[in-house]
Structure 1
Amino acid sequence: MRILLAHNNYIVQGGAEVFFHEVARVLEANGHEVLRFSAAEPGLDDVSHAEHFPSAAEYKSGTLLSRTLQLPKMIYNREAKAAFARMIERFKPDVIHAFAIYIRLTPSILDAAREAGVPVVLSCNDYKHICPNYKLFHHGHICEDCKGGRFYKALANRCCHGSLTVSAASMTEAYFHEWKNLWRRNVSMFLFASRFMADKTLDFWGEDSVRIDYLQNPFDADKYHVDANVGDYMLYFGRLIDEKGVDTLVDAAERVPEIPVVVVGDGPDLEKLEMRARQLDNLRVVGPAWGADLAQWQHGARAVVVPSIWHENFPYVILQAFAASNPVIGTRRGGIPELIEAGPHGWTYEAGDAEALAALMREVRDMPDAEIARMGAAACRYTHLSFSDAAIYERLRKIYGQVIS
């Protein structure tokens, strides 16, 4: 089977690119011919076919006028469509698997696939297909104002980076994609890592409006292994930004001064959190940590807290915690409870409720160490069984077989 994979960026910048390349790796390891397609970017000299990659709109720099002139290419990149059509003609794929393609490649490439008669599966790792700002969240609150095609609400709310200009561009993009029906007309199967995102998509578009299935991201549990240990503090690690709900964790820490809390990470809220830490004896904000340094913090933790107040889809931080044998305290938002409740892996509470989180932290503190260890071991086994190469490949094989047939 020949599979053509399409994603905005080739060089790894975050989890989306890891997903793209890991799917390719798993497919190649099982004997399939795989070709990766991305937008042009510096540093691809060793990629044999990179000269065929299309250019993308330059929207992060330049004058307002120059960026405005790039808007049509950000919405529907005709150069990308033509390049993708040539790639399809040359490679002759049996199926196309697309990932994040908006703004750089754009959904124009989906038109090329349909015109060539090649089925497309699309992995949705955020809410961009139904929400102009990707998140169903802005200014500290969950938002579904654009439901029903009311994308003008994005402009009214200034929900895209807090900018009137960016919100106007995102509104225009959403209206154009809806008018051309670029998603539903061209995609044979929409793939989701969480049932929550799948259900929310059908809530916006209508039941039975599209075919859906589930594909969770490959995850190398061995890479994040930490020797099992039951520590004494509650640990947060990740980005320090409003939707992650770290403020709720700090408010909970204030209510339980006898329980130590450690916050590891970086982001726009770092300085604010450092100020709070100077006022609380049980709160420590240590800044970013990776690799062995992060593993040391995980080794000393009793549980990891994921206090997100937006609808997280498939947070890698939970899998990383599980791989380190850390049970998780998480909110009932997005796909978080699906991971926690897949086994005796942790506890959930209502997002934003500092009192409920504080009560859970007391409960976890008072549980026997042996019970905490048992939950951590179950979580670790779960990552090894559910996200192995064999498990992911079996899902891919079945999904591709369905759309091809």
Structure 2
Amino acid sequence: MTTTPMRIVHCVRSPIGGIFRHIRDLATCQAEAGHDVGLVCDSSTGSAFDNQLLEQLRPKLALGLARFPMQRQLTLQDLSATHALYRHIRDLNADILHGHGAKGGAYVRLIGTFLKLRGQNVKRVYCPHGGSLHYDPNRFEGRVYHAIERGLGQFTDGLVFVSDYEAAAYESKVGHPKAKSRIVYNGLTPEEFQPVEASPDAGDFLYIGMLRDLKGPDLFIEALYNIRLKTGEAPRAHIVGEGPDEDRYRNMVAKLGLERAVTFHGALPAREAFQLARNVVIPSRAEAMPYIVLETVAAERPLIATRVGGIAEIFGRYSHRLVEPGHIGKLTTAMEDALADPAKMAEQAKELRGCLAETFSVDLMSDRITTLYQDLKGIAPAESSTPVAADNSSAVSRAQTIYARSSNR
């Protein structure tokens, strides 16, 4: 198979969590396919665990790994950051600038526009990964961010959505995409579809994810406390991850008297963490297409998750098993049911794993995105054994039903 090499630069503010997993996999596949790839990200974000993953990626980046200070919120420092990024990206002579998340997307579209004005034939691609789409359109902050997204839409050549839900949220909150758009699910490697067994001394429940309220660790802790109130004994639980609210959750565990039942581990590889407990709980308040849910299902681990973002698309015909987000009573009940019938949880995990490999493949994800780049650049795609669907304007329309059902709760 032959391919026309492209120079591709990915930009993300925070190189952590699922968004960085997506970039790592995509950049690796693109580099292995013969493209020159670079990455630009924030210099102040990331733990030792995250930085180790960055360093593992560095040798694959022919266009280098560059880190600059980037603020999460809109600040005056964004002006100096944009100028610094512009000077770096200008000299890379990129064919594709691919921004991930709200900040990364803003940087590449502004910088890409400046470069086009200077005569560079660069294409600007944006993937929200939730980001600004999580904001409530009826609140002031949401109106501001969605208005910015509408403005930046004028400077966008291609849009990648990681779920039908995300595409529908964009159309509902920002507007119909003017750029060529494509829905591309996150993907896993074949090795990740090997089942993982819990260790003999495993606990009852595992929370794994960022330690911030958006992901719901506080709900997880409160559900453990509720079970203790009913039974007199709290389930044994493990919390794996890092984040800005970690100290608050540790204090919450102490205040509720759960220190003997709950263990904090920091960041761990997902498949290592799965061995810690018999059930995984993902109590998110908002998501796009969370890798941790895909990884849990592929590993055939019993899972309790909420009906947010693209999780219903992962569960498919089993989506009725999902828990209402933010509803502590229903989360507590689901966890109680898991304790009462572990055999049923194991059987459901086996059913759910069924056809995941065909839909959520890292090779399919890379192929779908790279062929979008080629389409934008007018390059004939290389012959491939992976089917490439048409652009997703019709899929965006179909997704309105998914978004409406999820939002109307």
After TM superposition, the score normalised by the length of structure 1 is 0.69
Counterpart of 1:5 in structure 2 is 8
Counterpart of 1:306 in structure 2 is 282
Instruction: Select 1:123's aligned residue among 124, 127, 133.
Output: 127
Counterpart of 2:265 in structure 1 is 288
Which string of whole-angstrom CA distances, capped at 9 and with x for unpartnered residues, describes residues 183-232 of structure 1?
21222221111222221111122235444212233434635855345977
In the alignment, structure 1 residue 387 sits paired with structure 2 residue 360? yes
Q: Please give the alpha-carbon distance, in whole angstroms, between the structure 1 residues aligned to 2:111 and 2:204.
A: 49
Counterpart of 1:363 in structure 2 is 337
Which string of whole-angstrom CA distances, capped at 9 and with x for unpartnered residues, describes residues 232-272 of structure 1?
72322233332222333333334434472513135133323
Q: Please give the alpha-carbon distance, in whole angstroms, between the structure 2 residues aligned to 1:397 and 1:8.
A: 16
| CA deviation after TM superposition for structure 1 residue 306, in Å | 1.1
How many pairs align?
349
Q: Cα–Cα, structure 1 residues 86 and 238, in superposed 2: closer, same or farther, change >3 Å? A: closer
Overall identity of the aligned pairs, in %: 17
Q: Please give the alpha-carbon distance, in whole angstroms, between the structure 2 residues aligned to 1:101 and 1:353.
A: 28
Q: Cα–Cα, structure 1 residues 122 and 212, in superposed 2: closer, same or farther, change >3 Å? A: same
In the alignment, structure 1 residue 256 sits paired with structure 2 residue 261? no
State the SS of the aligned residue for 1:308: coil
Q: Cα–Cα, structure 1 residues 80 and 249, in superposed 2: closer, same or farther, change >3 Å? A: closer
Q: Would you say the 8 A contact 2:124–2:155 is kept in 1?
A: yes
Q: Cα–Cα, structure 1 residues 217 and 297, in superposed 2: closer, same or farther, change >3 Å? A: closer
Q: Please give the alpha-carbon distance, in whole angstroms, between the structure 1 residues aligned to 2:223 and 2:89.
A: 51
Higher mean displacement: 318-327 or 344-353: 344-353
Q: Please give the alpha-carbon distance, in whole angstroms, between the structure 2 residues aligned to 1:346 and 1:322.
A: 16
Higher mean displacement: 95-104 or 237-246: 95-104
| CA deviation after TM superposition for structure 1 residue 26, in Å | 1.0
Counterpart of 2:213 in structure 1 is 242
Q: Would you say the 8 A contact 1:193–1:216 is kept in 2?
A: yes
Q: Please give the alpha-carbon distance, in whole angstroms, between the structure 1 residues aligned to 2:77 and 2:276.
A: 50
Q: Please give the alpha-carbon distance, in whole angstroms, between the structure 2 residues aligned to 1:105 and 1:381.
A: 40
State the SS of the aligned residue for 2:308: coil
Q: Would you say the 8 A contact 2:186–2:362 is kept in 1?
A: no
Which string of whole-angstrom CA distances, capped at 9 and with x for unpartnered residues, describes residues 338-392 of structure 1?
22x23548821212222222222333344461x4333323444555433334322
Counterpart of 1:145 in structure 2 is 139
Q: Cα–Cα, structure 1 residues 384 and 228, in superposed 2: closer, same or farther, change >3 Å? A: farther
Q: Please give the alpha-carbon distance, in whole angstroms, between the structure 1 residues aligned to 2:276 and 2:194.
A: 14
Q: Cα–Cα, structure 1 residues 2 and 390, in superposed 2: closer, same or farther, change >3 Å? A: same
Q: Would you say the 8 A contact 2:190–2:357 is kept in 1?
A: yes
Q: Cα–Cα, structure 1 residues 213 and 17, in superposed 2: closer, same or farther, change >3 Å? A: same
Q: Please give the alpha-carbon distance, in whole angstroms, between the structure 2 residues aligned to 1:349 and 1:279.
A: 24
Structure 2 counterpart of 1:188, one-letter code:
D
Structure 2 counterpart of 1:304, one-letter code:
V
State the SS of the aligned residue for 1:304: strand
In the alignment, structure 1 residue 400 sits paired with structure 2 residue 407? no
Counterpart of 1:318 in structure 2 is 293
| CA deviation after TM superposition for structure 1 residue 22, in Å | 1.9
Counterpart of 1:168 in structure 2 is none
Unaligned runs of 5+ in 1: 61-66, 137-141, 152-170
| CA deviation after TM superposition for structure 1 residue 326, in Å | 1.2
Q: Would you say the 8 A contact 2:280–2:304 is kept in 1?
A: yes
Counterpart of 1:80 in structure 2 is 85
Q: Please give the alpha-carbon distance, in whole angstroms, between the structure 1 residues aligned to 2:220 and 2:21.
A: 29
Q: Cα–Cα, structure 1 residues 150 and 250, in superposed 2: closer, same or farther, change >3 Å? A: closer
Counterpart of 2:405 in structure 1 is none
State the SS of the aligned residue for 2:287: coil
State the SS of the aligned residue for 1:38: strand
Q: Would you say the 8 A contact 1:221–1:320 is kept in 2?
A: no
Q: Please give the alpha-carbon distance, in whole angstroms, between the structure 2 residues aligned to 1:220 and 1:146.
A: 41
| CA deviation after TM superposition for structure 1 residue 124, in Å | 1.8
State the SS of the aligned residue for 2:316: coil
State the SS of the aligned residue for 2:325: coil
Counterpart of 1:194 in structure 2 is 163
Q: Would you say the 8 A contact 1:321–1:328 is kept in 2?
A: yes
Q: Would you say the 8 A contact 1:233–1:262 is kept in 2?
A: yes
Q: Would you say the 8 A contact 1:190–1:213 is kept in 2?
A: yes
Q: Would you say the 8 A contact 2:36–2:63 is kept in 1?
A: no
Structure 2 counterpart of 1:358, one-letter code:
T
Counterpart of 1:374 in structure 2 is 347
Unaligned runs of 5+ in 2: 45-53, 379-409
Higher relative contact order, structure no. (Cα contacts within 8 Å, ≥ 6 residues apart): 2
| CA deviation after TM superposition for structure 1 residue 111, in Å | 0.5
Q: Would you say the 8 A contact 1:305–1:329 is kept in 2?
A: yes
If each structure's helix is expressed as a fraction of its own residues, which one has the higher value?
2
Q: Please give the alpha-carbon distance, in whole angstroms, between the structure 2 residues aligned to 1:11 and 1:348.
A: 29
Instruction: Select 1:338's aligned residue among 294, 313, 321.
Output: 313
State the SS of the aligned residue for 1:87: coil
Q: Would you say the 8 A contact 1:221–1:323 is kept in 2?
A: no
Higher mean displacement: 257-266 or 322-331: 257-266
Q: Please give the alpha-carbon distance, in whole angstroms, between the structure 2 residues aligned to 1:335 and 1:270.
A: 26
Q: Would you say the 8 A contact 1:7–1:101 is kept in 2?
A: no
Structure 1 counterpart of 2:328, one-letter code:
A
Q: Cα–Cα, structure 1 residues 328 and 276, in superposed 2: closer, same or farther, change >3 Å? A: farther
Q: Cα–Cα, structure 1 residues 338 and 70, in superposed 2: closer, same or farther, change >3 Å? A: same
Q: Cα–Cα, structure 1 residues 34 and 367, in superposed 2: closer, same or farther, change >3 Å? A: same
| CA deviation after TM superposition for structure 1 residue 277, in Å | 5.1
Q: Please give the alpha-carbon distance, in whole angstroms, between the structure 1 residues aligned to 2:224 and 2:235.
A: 8
